[in-house]
Amino acid sequence: MTRRAATVTLVLLALACVLPFVLTNYHTFQATLVLVYAIALLGLNILTGYNGQISLGHGAFYAIGAYVAAMLMDQAGMPYWATIPIAGAVCLVAGFLFGLPALRLEGLYLALATFALAVSMPPILKAHFIEKWTGGVQGIVIVKPDPPAFLAAVGIKLNADQWLYFFVLAIALVAFLLGWNLISGRIGRALVAIRDHHTAAEAMGINTALYKSLAFGVSALYTGVAGALGAIAVQFVAPDSFNVFVSLAFLVGIVVGGLASLTGALYGALFIQFVPNIADELSKAAPWAVFGVFLIAFVYLMPTGAAGAVRALTRRRSEGKLSHAKEALP
Amino acid sequence: MKRRLLPAAALLVAAVAFPALGQKKYDPGASDTEIKIGNTNPYSGPASAYGAIGKSIAAYFRMVNDRGGVNRRKINFITYDDGYSPPKTVEMARKLVEQDEVLFLFQTLGTPSNTAIQKYMNAKKVPQLFVATGATKWNDPKNFHWTMGWQPNYQTEARIYAKHILQTRPNAKIAVLYQNDDYGKDYLKGFEDGLGPQAAKMIVAKASYEVSEPTVDSQILQLKSSGADTFFNITTPKFAAQAIRAAYDTGWKPVHYLNNVSNSVGSVLKPAGLDKAVGIITSAYVKDPTDKRWANDPAMKTWREFMAKYNPDGDLTDPFNVYGYSVAATLEQVLKQCGDTLTRENVMQQAANLKRFRIDTLLPGITISTSPGDYAPIEAVQLERFNGHEFELFGEVISNEQ
């Protein structure tokens, strides 16, 4: 990380910490959802952006994470924070196992297989034999977590929305740090190599089968953690919350935000959180048509996603400065 | 003793009904000039057919505002798209309550969506009024003071079929087919409760199906073999059509009761075969806009004029447009009763204080009554029988009102 990038990150972080104190509770809640989506998009980006495997089914892992958290809180009376790692672990295993057969599928075929996963999720969640735990069509209502007592003891007063925001922010930070660490190291290079040239990567001694399954697992882990956090923020899970559009929204998010970019996840999350609301404000008759126009405009104006556009902008600025400096020389 | 209490009771009622006479009282969302009302509807997504309801309600309030509003206050109806997705409903409900600061939410649509926000609305003490779902759980004033349904709920309807069977054929042997989910079980419970102690004896067979099953043919065979002479069909449209056809084709000729969910001639009876559906008994509470009986009905004429002027894009054959009109009229009455006391508490009090209120787009004889212990506004339906071409209403309006 360059010094400037570090400064920018620190400033953004400071802003993120101030945010819930200047926003209303409702906007804080929305900001929490943006962070949740950002974690999910980060997970999908590891798989699709860095490793080149297209998934149209990440809504399913999001649902699994949400249900694991909800069921553990509702049935086992577990505290909300303890359900997060379990939701992640379950999704890691589920993702890895789904990744194994998916190895034989490439490109569009993999997309279709994952699409089937997304489509079948709501009926599975409604299924009779697990109704006792999932609550069937009715879903599960979760209690909103209160800020922990120790905070009040040291004199920090937060309401439930603010506390949840900071809780999600902390997890998002850890998720992004780990993601950055993963991507910028050996594993990240292997993932990219597999995406760019499968045969060459194998020739270089990369265990492509293992890495691809691993990418699936890690990706599902991120999305599952996001699902659990989303369920806690919304305080409710039901099969209708996890239809196929969730998966499509995630894919839209990473493409709009920027493939193979960590910051892209954040831009994409902002897009899928706010653009549908804007579309609805503009037209009740055809909100999706408006959404489509937005999408086309974004893709056309920023072919490398929002992250790519930001990158291009900053590069141009620093290049401009450089040429300016050169001219100043005698 | 009782007589001596009467004047005191009358005073108490007066105090409750007209608190602060001549004095204006407002909660957020209400003022001298405006009443802000929030709503969520699926304008996009898989359930967007229901969006017609939100649009016709908005049209109704445009008409009210053109007439000068309610008690000289304009209605500001704010409606958002939730795409039938509960997380989005939660977000939009919070937006309406915390940012737009509406006085209350009205006609939020869908059972899962309303379940998702019920706890929040009750914690915030903001009314969640006349929700658009048939589940029975919205009539629970003890635990959820701020949530109220509107349409006859599934259990009410099922009890009315049970009542009819007990009256007409007390020795019936009944077979029940139901969808294995909340909706199906809600109906089944109402039906068994309605039969009372006779239930165990009268219901000779029960079969259920999953929404994912391709057909219900085997269930029908199983029910037929029980020797039942009466069939209560608790199914959604696709399965209803299959059940009607299968019951006819196997030569089973029971007295057939079909739930209101699937009483569409176009999408259920036609695919099943109109001749196979003759004699089916179901129920209705709203005037069907395609029914020839109402062609010259003054109320439906007024409705058609309203549609032409305020909702010109709306479908004149769509019952949802009559539904939206009727439920909005109910709310208009509640707001009239609120007078100048537009507090959230008073909105709930007045919503729970409707006494045989009549909307003329509902079937003749159906009225709306509520009380602090009764959060089920419409509790009556009229039975109708299919004659091969259309449904014919018969008998009296049957009410489950206590």
Percent of chain B with pLDDT over 70: 94
Pick from A135-139, A234-238, B114-118: least confident: A135-139
What is residue B346's predicted lDDT score, i.e. its pLDDT? 97
CB contact under 8 A, A234 and B211: no
**Shortest Cα distance, chain A CAs vs residue B85, angstroms:** 5
Residues 271-330 of A with CB under 8 A from B: 276-277, 280, 284-285, 287-288
Q: Is B237 on the interface with A (CB under 8 A)?
A: no
Count Cβ–Cβ pairs < 8 Å, chain A vs chain B: 98
- In this prediction, residue B16 has a pLDDT band, given cuts at 50, 70 and 90, of low
Cβ neighbours of B118 in A, within 8 Å: 141
CB count within 10 Å of CB B319 equals 17
SS3 A149: helix
Q: Is B84 on the interface with A (CB under 8 A)?
A: yes
Cβ neighbours of B90 in A, within 8 Å: 234-236
What is residue A330's predicted lDDT score, i.e. its pLDDT? 44
CB contact under 8 A, B85 and A240: yes
Closest residue to B115, CB basis, from A26, A230, A236: A236
CB count within 10 Å of CB A270 equals 18
What is residue A322's predicted lDDT score, i.e. its pLDDT? 57
Contacts 24+ apart (CB under 8 A), A76-85: A79/A145, A80/A142, A80/A145, A80/A232, A81/A145, A81/A167, A83/A228, A84/A171, A84/A225, A84/A228, A84/A229
User: Could you give the angle at which helices A244-257 and A25-44 cross, rounded to 10 degrees?
Assistant: 80
What is residue A186's predicted lDDT score, i.e. its pLDDT? 92
What pTM did the predictor assign? 0.82
Cβ neighbours of B95 in A, within 8 Å: 26
A326 has a pLDDT exceeding 60: no
- In this prediction, residue A84 has a pLDDT band, given cuts at 50, 70 and 90, of very high
Chain B residue with minimal CA distance to A272? B88
Closest residue to A26, CB basis, from B94, B118, B313: B94
Mean pLDDT, chain B, whole residue set? 90
Instruction: Indicate if the alpha-carbon torsion angle A16, A18, A23, A24 is positive or negative.
Output: positive
Which of A32, A241, A274, A281 to mutate against chain B (most B CBs within 10 Å)?
Answer: A241
A308 against B231, higher pLDDT: B231
d(CA B131, CA B37): 13
Closest residue to B98, CB basis, from A25, A234, A236: A25
d(CA B204, CA A266): 59
Q: Is B202 on the interface with A (CB under 8 A)?
A: no
**Shortest Cα distance, chain A CAs vs residue B43, angstroms:** 7
- In this prediction, residue B297 has a pLDDT band, given cuts at 50, 70 and 90, of very high
Write out the H or E segment, with its range, that includes residue A153: helix A149-153
Stretch A103-124: mean pLDDT: 87
d(CA B138, CA B378): 13
Question: What's the farthest any 2 CA atoms get from each other in chain B?
Answer: 69
d(CA B191, CA B160): 8
Cβ neighbours of B115 in A, within 8 Å: 138-139, 141, 236, 238
- Residue from B266, B215, B212 nearest B239 by CA: B215
- Residue from B198, B271, B199, B285 nearest B235 by CA: B271
Question: In angstroms, how far is the first alpha carbon of chain A from the final one?
Answer: 33
Report whether B261 contacts B157 (CB < 8 A): no
Question: In angstroms, how far is the first alpha carbon of chain B from the final one?
Answer: 26
Write out the H or E segment, with its range, that includes residue B232: strand B230-234
> Per residue in B23-58, pLDDT tens?
789 999 999 999 999 999 988 876 787 889 999 999
Proportion of chain A in helix, strand, coil states, percent, rounded to 5: 80, 0, 20
DSSP string covering A228-265:
HHHHHHHTEE-GGGGSHHHHHHHHHHHHHH-TT-HHHH
Report whether B245 contacts B272 (CB < 8 A): yes
DSSP B153: P
CB contact under 8 A, A139 and B183: no
Stretch B355-359: mean pLDDT: 95
A320 has a pLDDT exceeding 80: no
Mean pLDDT, chain A, whole residue set? 89
| φ/ψ (deg, to 5) at A19 | -40, -55
Q: Is B402 on the interface with A (CB under 8 A)?
A: no
> What is the three-state SS of B108-151?
CECHHHHHHHHHHHHHHCCCEECCECCCHHHCCCCCCCCECCCC
d(CA A303, CA B121): 43
DSSP B229: S
H helix count then E strand count, chain B: 13, 13
Which residues have CB under 8 Å from B76's CB, separation 6+?
B34, B35, B36, B37
Which of A121, A240, A248 to mutate against chain B (most B CBs within 10 Å)?
Answer: A240
| φ/ψ (deg, to 5) at A200 | -60, -40
d(CA B183, CA B149): 15
**Amino acid (1-letter code) at residue B331:** L
B251 has a pLDDT exceeding 80: yes
d(CA A34, CA A269): 5
Cβ neighbours of B119 in A, within 8 Å: 141, 235
**Amino acid (1-letter code) at residue A135:** G
Write out the H or E segment, with its range, that includes residue B160: helix B154-168
Give the burial class of A41: count Cβ atoms within 10 A of its Cβ; 0-12 exposed, 13-18 middle, 19 or more buried.
buried
> Per residue in A18-48, pLDDT tens?
999 999 989 999 999 999 999 999 999 999 9
- Residue from B283, B178, B321, B176 nearest B236 by CA: B178
CB contact under 8 A, B98 and A236: no
What is residue A6's predicted lDDT score, i.e. its pLDDT? 86
d(CA B342, CA A145): 33
> Per residue in A261-302, pLDDT tens?
999 999 999 999 999 889 888 887 788 888 999 999 998 999
Q: Is A75 on the interface with B (CB under 8 A)?
A: no
What is residue B395's predicted lDDT score, i.e. its pLDDT? 87
Chain B residue with minimal CA distance to A124? B212
- In this prediction, residue B13 has a pLDDT band, given cuts at 50, 70 and 90, of low
DSSP B279: T
What is residue A329's predicted lDDT score, i.e. its pLDDT? 46
**Shortest Cα distance, chain A CAs vs residue B37, angstroms:** 16
**Amino acid (1-letter code) at residue A95:** G
Cβ neighbours of B85 in A, within 8 Å: 240-241, 243, 245
SS3 B343: coil
Spacing of C-alpha B12 from chain mean position: 32
